Copies of this chain bind each other. A is one copy, B any other.
């Protein structure tokens, strides 16, 4: 005889965390596959995209815009600097800060993959339809607040 008063957790199949994980996996897979030929990771791609779009910025801002934690960015930036994809220079106004910028080699990686990245991005938009796609983005952003 069950205990009707005892609350139970919702089925894992309908769990929001798991749905988010699966969606992320599925969206990222073709991007990772595309980038493999250039030997860069999806995280490095995000860093390049942010720097290319918004210009040089300090490491904390870059981490925030790239959706990376600062310790991860530290390692990623070291690797990218070693490969000549970005530069780092100390900010003379505040020597705790460093300014990170994309190099020509880094921009070239962006240029090389822009066309295919657009196609991949479009495929997801088309799968859901324009309206649903925008709804999805809006709902995801609502999860971010506070």
Contact = CB atoms under 8 A, between A and B. Distances in A.
A144 interface: yes
From DSSP, what is the main secondary structure of chain A's interface residues? helix
A141 to B, nearest CB: 6
A16 B121 contact: yes
Contact of A14 (B42, B50, B127, B137): B137
Interface in A4-34: 7-28, 31
A135 to B, nearest CB: 7
B114 A8 contact: yes
Contact of A17 (B12, B42, B114, B132): B42
11 contacts: A9-B114, A9-B118, A12-B46, A12-B49, A12-B65, A16-B27, A22-B140, A23-B141, A26-B144, A136-B136, A136-B140
